[in-house]
């Protein structure tokens, strides 16, 4: 393996570790988001959304860079048809790098699944909150359009419980 290949492997490992770091930050933010949703803390939810967007932008940039690294690595290894997948990289890498790549691949998959579950939970909480707000708004709007009227509106005769004429 040449020093040039070493550089690609190091860059790939560093890239994946950095992506994992951002995913962990998103997981922490997702937990905070759950609490902020439960407390209806709109200001905190806004802050969390901004922080999430920042981490997602970083992950997007890292993913583009990872694809570049893998493409260059594939070219160096003679795989010109298409860039190798991470699984292909595990097969092509020296044993010590392959072990780390396998571990990172498994960890990233687990982390992404956990993050997806957390996001699904928060999405359900947001949906429930929206339904609750919608129901309360419907009650308020209906009450505003139909003010309470305590007069008899029935066409049926009114029953007299106490006859005052007796």
Those residues whose C-beta lies under 8 Å from the C-beta of residue 74, and which sit 6 or more positions away, are: 80, 82, 83, 84, 88
Task: Give the pLDDT of residue 141.
Answer: 81
Q: pLDDT by residue (tens digit) across 7-17?
A: 999 999 999 99
The answer as to whether 32 is a domain residue is yes
- Vertex 46: Cα angle to 16 and 44 (nearest 5): 100
The answer as to whether 111 is a domain residue is yes
Q: In total, how many domains does the chain have? A: 1
Task: Give the pLDDT of residue 33.
Answer: 96
Q: 30-53: string of b/e by CB count within 10 Å (b at 16+)?
A: bebbeebbeeeeeeebeebeebbe
The answer as to whether 128 is a domain residue is no
Provide the greatest CA pair distance for the chain: 115
The answer as to whether 138 is a domain residue is no
The answer as to whether 58 is a domain residue is yes
User: Which structural domain range is residue 56 located in?
Assistant: 3-122
The answer as to whether 96 is a domain residue is yes
Task: Give the pLDDT of residue 133.
Answer: 83
Task: Give the pLDDT of residue 67.
Answer: 93
The answer as to whether 135 is a domain residue is no
The answer as to whether 103 is a domain residue is yes
Cβ-in-10-Å burial (0-12, 13-18, 19+) of 128 comes to: exposed
**Tens of pLDDT along the chain (166 residues)?**
455 578 999 999 999 999 999 999 999 999 999 999 999 899 999 999 999 999 999 999 999 999 999 988 888 877 766 778 888 888 889 999 999 999 999 999 999 999 999 999 999 999 988 888 888 888 888 877 776 666 666 666 666 666 666 5
From the centroid of its chain, how far is CA 89? Answer: 28
């Amino acid at each position: 393996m040449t020093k040039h290949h070493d550089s690609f492997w190091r860059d790939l490992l560093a890239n994946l570790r950095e992506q994992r770091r951002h995913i962990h930050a998103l997981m922490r933010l997702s937990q905070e988001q759950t609490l902020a949703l439960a407390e209806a803390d709109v200001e905190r939810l806004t802050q969390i959304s901004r922080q999430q967007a920042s981490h997602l932008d970083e992950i997007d940039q890292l993913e583009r860079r990872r694809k570049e690294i893998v493409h260059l690595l594939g070219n160096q290894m003679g795989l010109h048809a298409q860039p190798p997948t991470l699984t292909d990289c595990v097969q092509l890498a020296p044993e010590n790098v392959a072990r780390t790549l396998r571990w990172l691949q498994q960890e990233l998959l687990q982390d992404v699944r956990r993050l997806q579950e957390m996001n699904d939970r928060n999405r359900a909480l947001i949906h429930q909150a929206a339904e609750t707000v919608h129901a309360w708004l419907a009650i308020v709007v209906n009450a505003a359009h139909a003010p309470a009227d305590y007069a008899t509106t029935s066409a049926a005769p009114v029953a007299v419980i106490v006859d005052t004429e007796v």
